[in-house]
Structure 1
Amino acid sequence: MSELKNQMRSDLKDSMKAKDKPRTAALRMLLAALQEEETKGSKHELTDADVLAVVAREIKKRRESAEVYADAGRQELADSELAEAEVFEAYQPAQLDDDELGELVDAAVAAVAEETGEAPTMKQMGQVMKKAKADAAGRADGKRLSEAVKARLQG
Structure 2
Amino acid sequence: MIRDDIKAAQVAAMKAGDKARLGTIRLMLAKIKDKDIELRTGTAPADDDVLVTDVLQKMVKQRRESITMYEQGGRQELADIEAAEVVVIEDFLPAQLSDDDAMAAIKAIVVELGAESLKDMGKVMAAVKDRLGSQLDMSKASGWVKAALS
Partner of 2:127: 131
1:144 aligns with 2:145: no
CA RMSD of superposed structures (Å):
1.6
Partner secondary structure for residue 147 of structure 1 = helix
For residue 103 of structure 2, what is the amino acid of its counterpart? G
Indicate the larger mover: 130-139 or 54-63: 130-139
Partner of 2:40, secondary structure, is: coil
The aligned runs of 1:110-129 (5 Å cut-off) are: 110-113=111-114, 119-129=115-125
Give the structure-2-normalised TM-score.
0.90
Count of residues in Structure 1 that have an aligned counterpart in Structure 2: 147
User: What is the 5 A alignment of 1:4-153?
Assistant: 4-42=2-40, 47-113=48-114, 119-153=115-149
Change (3 A) 1:38 1:71: same
Which stretches of structure 1, 4 residues or longer, exceed 3 Å deviation after superposition? 43-46
Comparing 34-43 with 122-131, greater Cα deviation is found at 34-43
Gaps of 5+ in 2: none
Q: What whole-Å deviation, never above 9, does each CA across 1:87-137 have from its counterpart, x for those lacking one?
A: 111111111012211111111111221xxxxx4211211111111122213
For residues 73 and 27 of structure 1, what CA distance do their matches in structure 2 show? 27
The 8 Å contact of residues 95 and 139 in structure 1, kept in 2 or not, is answered as yes
Structure 1: state its 5+ residue gaps.
114-118
Identity %: 35
In 2, Cα distance between equivalents of 1:23 and 1:148: 34
CA contact (8 A) 1:55 1:88 kept: yes
Q: Aligned partners of 2:68, 2:123: CA distance in 1, in Å?
A: 31
Whole-angstrom distance in 2 between the partners of 1:8 and 1:25: 12
- Letter paired with 1:14: A
